[in-house]
Chains A and B, each alone.
Chain A
Amino acid sequence: MTFEEIKDRALTEWAALENTDKPRIIVGAATCGRASGALHVLDRVKAELERHQLDAIIMQTGCIGLCYAEPLLDIVKPGRPRICYSNVTPEIAAHLIEDYLIKDNPQPDLALGSMGEGSVAGISNFFELPMLKPQVRIILRNCGFIDPEKLDHYIARGGYGGLVKTLKMTPEGVIQEIKKSGLRGRGGAGFPTGTKWELCRQSPGKIKYIVCNADEGDPGAFMNRSLIEGDPHSVLEGMLIGAYAIGATEGYVYIRAEYPLAIERLKLALQQATEYGFIGDNILGSGFSFHIKIKEGAGAFVCGEETALMASIEGKRGMPRPRPPFPAQAGLWGKPTNINNTETWAAVAAILHNSAEWFACYGSARSKGTKTFSLVGKVNKPQLIEVPIGITLKEIIYDIGDGVAGGKRLKGVQTGGPSGGCIPASRLDLSVDYESLTEAGSIMGSGGMVVLDEDTCMVDFARYFISFTQSESCGKCVMCRLGTKQIMDTLGKIARGQGTPEDIALLEDLGKQVKIGSLCGLGQTAPNPVLSSLRYFRNEYEEHIKKHHCAAAVCSGLVRAPCSHTCPAGIDVPRYIRFIEAGKPDESVAVIREKIPFPSVCGYVCVHPCETKCRRGQLDEAVGIRMLKRFAAEFGNGLWKQGVKAAPPTGKQVAVVGSGPAGLTAAYYLARLGHSVTVFEALPEPGGMMKVGIPDYRLPKDMLGAEIAEIENAGVKIKTNTRIENPESLLAQGYQAVFLAVGAHRGLKLGIPGEDSPQVIDCVSFLREVNLGHTVAVGDKVAVIGGGNAAIDAARTALRLGAAEVTMIYRRTRAEMPASDEEIEDALAEGVQVLFLSAPTKIAQQGKQVQLECVHMALGDVDTSGRRRPVAVKGSEFSLVFDTVIAAIGQQPEVPGELTTGGGNTIKVDLDTLATGKAGIFAGGDAVTGPASVIEAIAAGRQAAISIDKSLGGKGEIDEKLAPPEGELKPLEEAGEKRRPVMPVLPLGQRLCSFATVELGLTAELAAEEARRCLRCDLEEHE
């Protein structure tokens, strides 16, 4: 048969399939689909069709790329578009057959999208979905659309048309076409494919080989596997074209044995193509002969390197050798050889079938066409994608991948697998092309793309990759074999908290030498993850070394329990939880007091960073650490006092400016160390933001008062109504050290016309007035501008002051709101209205009211914080009338004296000592960090106490042993799934009439039950 006859037959068969009067059911059954249960779905489909005695065509396809949505089941009814259903279970499949095939209800809720002509109500166009819209399918053109085991399907969609065209051209003409297309090697290095072919063609020799490198081995990469499983003929056709152009008579596909389905389909494809006369002697009567063999690799990563790959085909140990000679001169068995990656071959077939110009209209100036990537890691929608080169990382992660999973913060993205580097979130606008990625310290690589979030520790991450390359190093060259070992050991040391500052220099120097000095690509790129993470995340390395702190709470050698490790004050959370479980709140509160003097305050209002890293959260829900702390503080008594050891007086005097959590904590510990401490407070009452920022319904003021009283009992003198204008004057008065903890009490202006109206007040001033007991009239209608915790406090306070209607105006959506979820929920429950995606533009006085002019916003581009930037929608202006407008868009410190300040008017200090530029003056808390949390301020107070004590000749030892020893410690028995208790709260009806505490606290039974959910990570054996 001629090719035309073969093609006609294939087209007829394909048309019959497309226009059949039977329904068609399509199941994506590549390895990925099978792993998620596609074959069970398929079995059920068959059984259901039989049960209902339905006649339908069932087709298996390769992977369409939507990993997160597998198994995928598509149904095409005659005359209807193809509807794609995601996450299909056998049960859902059975329902779909009954509902759609029999009852004609397409179940739009279960559908992902529809393809083809026509539409179905309630189902969007598949290719218009956000994750598909930016994609262009050239390499993966057939994946998910044809049965990969049917050669006729491939031919019907234009397959082997490129070969037929090729056979009518001269080999040089084919090479010119590839050169014109701008195709570059998709294995990662990006060498121009046409040039590579030309070198091999020009190389003298009768026997030449070509090789398809399908030894995909990067952790997290599966592009080549999916391609071969979904469309094996595209690779074979590309090889045929290459062989013709180069003058090769034999080819190899080197594919790893771990890809059994891909190998099976490739073998079948080879057999089919041979039967059709596309492979073998005198192909399609052209006189051109070519044979292909499949070589299964044993799974060594280094065999992806071309010279090692050739050694492996030759039956030798897979070890690379230096070049020159290049494979084009002397490759497989010493003959000229051309090796290209699987994806490159598939692109070749598409280029010859269409044209070089067609291919070159995709991509960037220097990198043409598309590139496939395995988008994996901490992304909402992990997928196999194909995008035009030159797309930005931002589009890939946020548009296609739907952002970071679990609402976490994006940290970076690793491209190029273990040979690549990490690109930080701040460089999300980077264009994904060979040059830009290299400039950013990474590589394009073969297409692995791993998204990292805040829970990824960069030291651990670098360590993972280097341990991979170390164990996959072939051992031949010294730099790679021993250099990566030393790098791995050094990272291990840092991860265990045994690193030294010199280790960073060692990593950088050795990394550089290994890159320059290694024999092959494996060693030359192995240090990339380490060097790029050092380039962009050096602070994490330094934190591990200097502070023995792993911010992601990952490095097991440093992190005894993630909760206590994450607590800024380092409270031994698992221990106090165990005391609660044992019914000993007194002992429990003593544990808490070993680190902080404000157990109650934290029990009520802590932002509990500990809970975000609680391992129980990965199982069902994080342990309610804050509610347990409140229980301990409420029911614990003064046992802790027995453990307190007062130090003898040192005769040194310390002044603390500001009586917030930072100031009082520092004062407390300095007094315990024997110093004479005086706290100066500008306001009439001590407590700082704990007193004047947090409303009573969240933090009862008697609790705060009791804890401040204990601080005074420790010998701290508090002078209220005393504003310090110049801290240096305190030094002149005889204080040896001054700690500035003045907080951030100045509300930020809205920056819009009319905000000087008497009806406009800033949030900090508003809350201060209310908390100091002054009468504040807010009127009936109150607007709060902002979306943080302070804005919520203001809104809920306004309700309690009698406002009938409180409206929050926030420029983004609920998902981006910085306020804590619990707070938002409570505010909504109490009747606070929120206008999302709205921003004020102008305030106009209307008698005793103001008219607030606003504009609707839409979410635009993602910014470096990973949140989408709000942009005003033209013509969407609206206005509202209010009695009071509260601006809650942020606070700044008011810095006394002449100190160096940084962004947000914060005081600049040495972060290790908290020393300001002026001798004897230290600063900490919100005044240094900008508005933060109580626990961070307490931590700053602790740090200041240590630092000031040392500056006064002490040892800075402030930790106390206050709790008695625990009994015998048992590891937790098997933990069944169980969620945390719901915190009992004041009924809604009783809330708005007063400032009574909303959260009522746990009972002893509930507390013990909750304490039992703790996994006791601290008792685990670590490396």
Chain B
Amino acid sequence: MDEIRLTVDGREVKVKKGATVLEAAQAAGVYIPTLCHDPDLEPYGGCRLCVVEIEKMRGLPTSCTTPATEGMVVHTDTPAANDVRRAAVELLCADHYSECLTCPQNQRCELQKVAAYLGITRLPYPKTTRTFPVDDSNPFFDLDRNRCILCARCVRACNEITCVGAIDLAYRGYQSKVATFGDQLMISSICKSCGECVAHCPTGALAPKESRRPTREVLTTCPYCGVGCQMSLGIRGHEIVSVRGKREDSPNKGWLCVKGRYGIGEFVSHPDRLTAPLVRRDGELKKVSWDEALDLVARKLASYQKGEVAVITSAKCTNEENYVFQKLARAVLGTNNVDHCARL
């Protein structure tokens, strides 16, 4: 039997063996607030929001870390659990910048969402915020610790998804913070700028420098390499202002590299970008139509002997494109001089 049955808030639910109580609750359609939980990452148990009461278990276990077991009876909306949730969010809010309007994550912030869910409208505690300087050394994103809730999703994304480990939690207690090795600027670290940390940040602590929001999204394939990563481009007028991966889509399951995540918008609308083929005439490059350019190339290729031609293709091409091109080289042009830029 790899299915187990349990009851969450009176609803019976079946989940696969190995599922957590939180996953079971979600399967049963029961909302449990979370902050440090992320389906892409290993369970953490830090934010304390997903605490629940489970019959025959002591205290308030975190549903994100507790494996669901057969016959378990879970209560998610109890006074004790809600008291802890409320205290946790109140503590976080007291330690958090209040300037939501100017936060890049405004209205998308998960802290806002849970505070609203719990109905927190005033804080019983005095503010404990400090002023951290914003680390804006990375060209693509900023690390603003004033907006950090230390859920460690960035740290875990960097370790578990990209296996880079550029950041970790440093120091202890109230002094704890997300830091690079030796507490240096982000740019001085081994960070690859892939932005997985940014993508997993629930607040505005890690945010792209481009903060404008798109008006619509377009699903496309990343043009940078042959992997074929799927991405949603956020369009605003004629500009691409955001890029995000979608975890449902293969092959990249939402992950992106620095080029795909941060290299699209600028390159697409860059004035230097070639949008039509150029042909040199009288020593000068002139814009021509594709038909004209291709005719010229075909004509010229036909004029060479087999041994006089070599073909080199681009890593931006897909496997299929590369396959077709080497076929052209061998079968049509009659040359085995085929190479690829990724081999260099």
* Docked complex: A427-478 residues within 8 A CB-CB of B: 470-478
Q: Which of A171-179, A512-520, A537-545 lies at the interface? A: A512-520
Q: Please determine whether A478 and B48 come into contact, CB atoms closer than 8 angstroms.
A: yes
Q: Please determine whether A477 and B46 come into contact, CB atoms closer than 8 angstroms.
A: yes
* Docked complex: B154-205 residues within 8 A CB-CB of A: 168-169, 171-176
CB neighbours (8 Å) of A477 from chain B are 45-48
Cβ contacts A to B, 11 pairs, < 8 Å: A319-B169, A322-B65, A324-B67, A471-B173, A471-B174, A472-B172, A478-B91, A478-B92, A478-B150, A482-B174, A485-B95
Minimum C-beta distance from A786 to chain B (A): 54
Q: Please determine whether A479 and B84 come into contact, CB atoms closer than 8 angstroms.
A: yes
Question: How distant is the Cα of A478 from the Cα of B125 in the complex, in angstroms?
Answer: 14
Q: Please determine whether A516 and B59 come into contact, CB atoms closer than 8 angstroms.
A: yes
Most-contacted residue by chain A among B46, B84, B126 (CB, 10 A)? B46
Question: How distant is the Cα of A610 from the Cα of B210 in the complex, in angstroms?
Answer: 66
Q: Please determine whether A483 and B87 come into contact, CB atoms closer than 8 angstroms.
A: yes
Task: Return the chain A residue nearest B35 by Cβ.
Answer: A478
Most-contacted residue by chain A among B48, B51, B65, B168 (CB, 10 A)? B48
Query: Which A residues fall within an 8 A CB radius of B?
Result: 300, 302, 317, 319, 321-322, 324-325, 470-479, 481-486, 489, 506, 509-510, 513-514, 516-519
Interface size class of B (residues with CB under 8 A): 35 or more
Task: Return the chain B residue nearest A468 by Cβ.
Answer: B173
Contact residue among B43, B51, B60, B169 (Cβ-Cβ distance under 8 Å from A475): B169
Question: How distant is the Cα of A319 from the Cα of B150 in the complex, in angstroms?
Answer: 13
Minimum C-beta distance from A665 to chain B (A): 41
Task: Return the chain B residue nearest A485 by Cβ.
Answer: B174
Question: How distant is the Cα of A524 from the Cα of B87 in the complex, in angstroms?
Answer: 14
Q: Please determine whether A322 and B169 come into contact, CB atoms closer than 8 angstroms.
A: no
Given A471-B175, A475-B172, 13 more A-B residue pairs with CB atoms under 8 Å apart are: A322-B65, A324-B66, A473-B172, A474-B172, A475-B171, A477-B48, A481-B173, A484-B173, A506-B125, A513-B87, A514-B87, A517-B51, A519-B46
B152 at the A/B interface (Cβ < 8 Å)? yes
Task: Return the chain A residue nearest B69 by Cβ.
Answer: A324
CB neighbours (8 Å) of A321 from chain B are 45, 65
Task: Return the chain B residue nearest A505 by Cβ.
Answer: B124
Q: Please determine whether B174 and A479 come into contact, CB atoms closer than 8 angstroms.
A: no
Query: Which B residues fall within an 8 A CB radius of A?
Result: 43-48, 51, 59-62, 65-67, 80, 83-84, 87-88, 91-92, 94-95, 124-126, 128, 149-150, 152, 168-169, 171-176
Minimum C-beta distance from A318 to chain B (A): 9
CB neighbours (8 Å) of B169 from chain A are 317, 319, 475-476
Task: Return the chain B residue nearest A479 by Cβ.
Answer: B48
Minimum C-beta distance from B309 to chain A (A): 55
Q: Please determine whether A482 and B124 come into contact, CB atoms closer than 8 angstroms.
A: no
Q: Please determine whether B61 and A517 come into contact, CB atoms closer than 8 angstroms.
A: no
Q: Please determine whether B172 and A489 come into contact, CB atoms closer than 8 angstroms.
A: no
Question: How distant is the Cα of A519 from the Cα of B61 in the complex, in angstroms?
Answer: 9
Question: How distant is the Cα of A473 from the Cα of B91 in the complex, in angstroms?
Answer: 15
Minimum C-beta distance from A297 to chain B (A): 14
Minimum C-beta distance from B152 to chain A (A): 7
Known A322-B61, A322-B66, A324-B66; contact A476-B152, beta-carbon cutoff 8 A: yes
CB neighbours (8 Å) of A509 from chain B are 87
Question: How distant is the Cα of A489 from the Cα of B84 in the complex, in angstroms?
Answer: 20
Task: Pick the 8 closest A-B CB pairs, nearest first.
Answer: A475-B176, A517-B84, A482-B91, A513-B87, A322-B45, A473-B173, A322-B65, A485-B174
Task: Return the chain A residue nearest B171 by Cβ.
Answer: A475
Contact residue among B48, B65, B128 (Cβ-Cβ distance under 8 Å from A486): B128
CB neighbours (8 Å) of B43 from chain A are 322
CB neighbours (8 Å) of B45 from chain A are 321-322, 476-477, 519
CB neighbours (8 Å) of A517 from chain B are 48, 51, 60, 84, 87-88
Task: Return the chain B residue nearest A506 by Cβ.
Answer: B124
Minimum C-beta distance from B225 to chain A (A): 33
CB neighbours (8 Å) of A300 from chain B are 172
Question: What secondary structure prevails in chain B residues at the interface with A?
Answer: loop
Q: Please determine whether B173 and A478 come into contact, CB atoms closer than 8 angstroms.
A: no
Contact residue among B46, B66, B126 (Cβ-Cβ distance under 8 Å from A478): B46
Contact residue among A319, A322, A471, A486 (Cβ-Cβ distance under 8 Å from B91): A486
Minimum C-beta distance from A698 to chain B (A): 53
Q: Please determine whether B88 and A478 come into contact, CB atoms closer than 8 angstroms.
A: yes
Question: How distant is the Cα of A319 from the Cα of B152 in the complex, in angstroms?
Answer: 12
Q: Please determine whether B173 and A472 come into contact, CB atoms closer than 8 angstroms.
A: yes
Question: How distant is the Cα of A516 from the Cα of B88 in the complex, in angstroms?
Answer: 11
Minimum C-beta distance from B277 to chain A (A): 55
Question: How distant is the Cα of A473 from the Cα of B46 in the complex, in angstroms?
Answer: 12
Minimum C-beta distance from B164 to chain A (A): 16
Task: Return the chain B residue nearest A520 by Cβ.
Answer: B45
CB neighbours (8 Å) of B175 from chain A are 471, 475
Most-contacted residue by chain A among B59, B95, B149, B174 (CB, 10 A)? B174
Minimum C-beta distance from B167 to chain A (A): 12
Question: How distant is the Cα of A87 from the Cα of B173 in the complex, in angstroms?
Answer: 41
CB neighbours (8 Å) of A513 from chain B are 83-84, 87
Q: Please determine whether B92 and A482 come into contact, CB atoms closer than 8 angstroms.
A: yes
CB neighbours (8 Å) of A473 from chain B are 172-174, 176
Question: How distant is the Cα of A470 from the Cα of B95 in the complex, in angstroms?
Answer: 15
Q: Please determine whether A479 and B67 come into contact, CB atoms closer than 8 angstroms.
A: no
Q: Please determine whether B91 and A483 come into contact, CB atoms closer than 8 angstroms.
A: yes
Q: Please determine whether B87 and A479 come into contact, CB atoms closer than 8 angstroms.
A: yes
Q: Please determine whether B150 and A475 come into contact, CB atoms closer than 8 angstroms.
A: yes
CB neighbours (8 Å) of B149 from chain A are 478
CB neighbours (8 Å) of A479 from chain B are 48, 84, 87-88, 91
Known A517-B48, A517-B60; contact A470-B173, beta-carbon cutoff 8 A: yes
Task: Return the chain A residue nearest B92 by Cβ.
Answer: A478
CB neighbours (8 Å) of B94 from chain A are 482, 486
Minimum C-beta distance from B86 to chain A (A): 8
Q: Please determine whether A516 and B80 come into contact, CB atoms closer than 8 angstroms.
A: yes
CB neighbours (8 Å) of B88 from chain A are 478-479, 517
CB neighbours (8 Å) of B150 from chain A are 475-476, 478, 481
CB neighbours (8 Å) of B152 from chain A are 476
CB neighbours (8 Å) of B125 from chain A are 486, 506, 510
Question: How distant is the Cα of A478 from the Cα of B45 in the complex, in angstroms?
Answer: 10
Task: Return the chain A residue nearest B170 by Cβ.
Answer: A317
CB neighbours (8 Å) of A471 from chain B are 172-175
Q: Please determine whether A475 and B173 come into contact, CB atoms closer than 8 angstroms.
A: yes
CB neighbours (8 Å) of B84 from chain A are 479, 513, 516-517
Minimum C-beta distance from A411 to chain B (A): 28
Q: Please determine whether A519 and B48 come into contact, CB atoms closer than 8 angstroms.
A: yes
Minimum C-beta distance from A319 to chain B (A): 7
Minimum C-beta distance from B99 to chain A (A): 19
Minimum C-beta distance from B176 to chain A (A): 3
Question: How distant is the Cα of A516 from the Cα of B84 in the complex, in angstroms?
Answer: 7
CB neighbours (8 Å) of B80 from chain A are 516
Task: Return the chain B residue nearest A476 by Cβ.
Answer: B46
Minimum C-beta distance from B337 to chain A (A): 50
Q: Please determine whether B91 and A317 come into contact, CB atoms closer than 8 angstroms.
A: no
CB neighbours (8 Å) of A475 from chain B are 150, 169, 171-176
Minimum C-beta distance from A464 to chain B (A): 15
CB neighbours (8 Å) of A302 from chain B are 172
Q: Please determine whether A317 and B128 come into contact, CB atoms closer than 8 angstroms.
A: no
CB neighbours (8 Å) of A510 from chain B are 87, 125
Q: Please determine whether B174 and A516 come into contact, CB atoms closer than 8 angstroms.
A: no
Minimum C-beta distance from A534 to chain B (A): 17
CB neighbours (8 Å) of A516 from chain B are 59-60, 80, 83-84
Task: Return the chain B residue nearest A486 by Cβ.
Answer: B125
Contact residue among B44, B51, B60, B95 (Cβ-Cβ distance under 8 Å from A482): B95
CB neighbours (8 Å) of B51 from chain A are 517
Minimum C-beta distance from A202 to chain B (A): 17
Minimum C-beta distance from A812 to chain B (A): 49
Q: Please determine whether B168 and A317 come into contact, CB atoms closer than 8 angstroms.
A: yes
CB neighbours (8 Å) of B126 from chain A are 486, 489
Minimum C-beta distance from A506 to chain B (A): 6
CB neighbours (8 Å) of B91 from chain A are 478-479, 482-483, 486
CB neighbours (8 Å) of B46 from chain A are 476-478, 519
